[in-house]
Each structure stands twice: as C-alpha cells, then as structure tokens.
C-alpha cells in the first residue's frame, strides 16, 4: 500500500486530521491568550521572554493532549530498543548533516522572515528551554509518533510515509528559509523513528540540532550575516569540512542499522 491508501477515507485519515487540527488549535490558542494578556498586542510585538514562555506552554500542552488522546503509544516512549551507542549514533548523524544542509540553504538565498524573532527568543531562558527541549519533543510527538505512526499503521510504505510527514513538518515551520532544512531533517527524524521504534533517538538528535543553532546564534551575536565559507576560513577549508561531514553522514546512515535491535524486515512489528 502507498500514500493513496491513507488519503482514501478511513480512520487513519480522520485521526491525522484530528492531530493536525488539535496541534494548530493549541498553537493559535496560546498565541491568542498571550496577545490578550499583553493588552491585545500582536504576538510578535510582545517582549521576547513573554512570547517565548507561551510557545513553551504550547509545546507542553501539545505533548499532554496527544498523550491524553492516546496518540502517543506507551511503546513509543520505550528507551530500551537502542543501546547508548545507538543514541550517540543518532545524535552524531544529525550533527554531520548540519553543515551540508545549512550550506544548501545559504546557497538558495531564501527569505528568513523570522530570523530576528528567533534570535530574540534564543536570548531568553524560556526560549532556550522551548527551542532545545520542549519544541523538539512536541514535534516528535506530533510528526513522528502521531502522523508518521498513523500512516504506517494505515498501510503506507515506510518511504512514502516519511516523505509525507517530512513535508507536513516543513510546511508547519512556515518560514521560507526553514522549509528546505525542515524537510531534510524531517526525513532523517522519520528514518530514526521508523528504525528505532522509539521517540527518543529522534528527540535527542532534534534537540542536538537545535542546541547547535542556539550556540551558533550566541557566538555570532548580532552578526548573523556571516557566511559559512567565511566562518570556516575560505573555500578550501569549507570544501574539506563539507566532504568530511558528508562522508560521516553516509557511514552513520548505514551504521544505524547495526544498533537497531529488530530486523528491518520486521519494521512494522511495533506499530501494527
């Protein structure tokens, strides 16, 4: 079966629609409440610490409601499918993709409409807590355990389900500069979910990616216009670092299966 199986009328489609509606309802609800508490001020115009706090609240509520509706299964929260080497492998794999993916995005010269807002949030405790820990968990719950898991249980192929969930993940980010990155990272996180039988490898990898983003923003301070080539010391060092990153990415891609405790041929044992 493929994506057409899911898009035909059925319980899987209804469940996915409910997940998406609930997710956006929580997001917009928290934004609206924050604006009301701010004297009916636009959410973007609120102090960064206030808007960051309400984004953190939306992430926490998302995890809570998805658990309440049993859209996160207990097995998704199991830690034991991978050894610590598997988790380290997942994080290293994500880190190896950061430079190539960001170099590609930089080359595309897309409009980064939320850049200044994110930089402001990264300088607040609530913003850092949400960006590094809470938001990655909420997104793994929604897009991996929720949407991707539902597609797999509805009979979609693993590849088709990963691509579709990654597209939804990318569209959710909205910011043009983030969409290509979010799509590629969504594919990686979907792959980790499919092969780990757990949310946690993807969450660790997702959190590590966001943490690097926060640390980079702190280091750059207000000079965010510097290119990767300038940051790495010129074209040749950049080419060398990118080549090593891509080599590491490919090696770990195949190593992930080594730390996978269940045969890939039984990839649907947990989700069926």
- Give the per-residue pLDDT at 105: 82
Question: DSSP state, 113?
Answer: T
Q: What is the per-residue pLDDT for 221?
A: 64
| Alpha-carbon gap, residue 50 to 36, rounded angstroms | 12
Positive or negative torsion for Cα 184, 186, 188, 190: negative
Cα–Cα distance, 163 to 173 (Å, whole number): 16
- 58 near 136, Cβ under 8 Å? no
In this prediction the pTM is 0.88
Q: Which long-range contacts (CB under 8 A, 24 or more apart) does 40-47 make?
A: 44/117
Q: Which residues contact 227 (CB under 8 A, 6 or more apart)?
A: 106
Question: Given this model, what pLDDT does residue 146 score?
Answer: 92
Distance CA 121, CA 136 (A): 15
pLDDT at position 75 is 77
CB 205 within 8 Å of CB 90: yes
Nearest to 91 by CA among 7, 192, 239, 178: 192
The distance of Cα 42 from the centroid of its chain, to the nearest Å, equals: 26
Q: Is the dihedral of CA 38, 217, 134, 94 positive or negative?
A: positive
Q: Which of 49, 43, 51, 77 is nearest to 63 (CA)?
A: 77
Tokens for 178?
Answer: 């983030």
Reading the chain (272 residues) residue by residue, the pLDDT tens digits are: 455 544 443 577 888 999 999 999 999 999 999 998 877 778 888 999 999 999 999 999 999 999 888 888 877 887 766 678 788 889 999 999 988 888 888 788 878 888 888 989 999 999 999 999 999 999 999 999 999 998 888 888 888 999 999 999 999 988 888 899 999 999 999 999 988 878 999 999 999 999 998 998 887 665 556 666 677 777 888 888 899 999 999 999 888 877 664 434 344 444 44
pLDDT of residue 225: 61
Q: By the 8 A CB rule, do 147 and 165 touch?
A: yes
What is the predicted pLDDT for the residue at 59? 97
């Amino acid at each position: 079966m493929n994506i057409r199986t899911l898009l035909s009328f059925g319980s899987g489609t209804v469940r996915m629609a409910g997940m998406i509606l609930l997710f956006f309802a929580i997001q917009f609800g928290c934004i609206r409440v924050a604006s009301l508490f701010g004297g009916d001020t636009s959410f973007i115009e609120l102090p960064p610490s206030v808007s960051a706090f309400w984004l953190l609240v939306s992430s926490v509520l998302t995890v809570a409601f998805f658990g309440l509706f049993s859209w996160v299964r207990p097995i998704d929260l199991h830690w034991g499918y991978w050894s610590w080497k598997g988790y380290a492998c997942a994080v290293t794999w994500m880190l190896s993709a950061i430079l190539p993916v960001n170099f590609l995005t930089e080359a595309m010269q897309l409009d980064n409409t939320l850049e200044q807002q994110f930089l402001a949030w990264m300088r607040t405790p609530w913003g850092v807590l949400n960006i590094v820990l809470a938001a990655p968990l909420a997104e793994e719950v929604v897009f991996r355990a929720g949407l991707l898991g539902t597609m797999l249980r509805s009979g979609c192929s693993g590849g088709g389900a990963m691509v579709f969930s990654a597209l939804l993940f990318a569209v959710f980010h909205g910011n043009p500069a983030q969409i290509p990155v979010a799509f590629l990272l969504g594919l990686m996180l979907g792959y980790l979910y499919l092969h780990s039988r757990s949310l946690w490898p993807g969450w660790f990898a997702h959190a590590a990616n966001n943490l690097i983003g926060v640390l980079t923003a702190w280091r750059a301070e207000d000079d965010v216009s510097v290119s990767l080539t300038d940051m790495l010391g010129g074209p040749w060092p950049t080419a060398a670092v990118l080549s090593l990153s891509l080599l590491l990415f490919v090696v770990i891609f195949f190593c992930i299966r080594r730390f996978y405790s269940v045969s890939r041929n039984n990839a649907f044992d947990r989700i069926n």
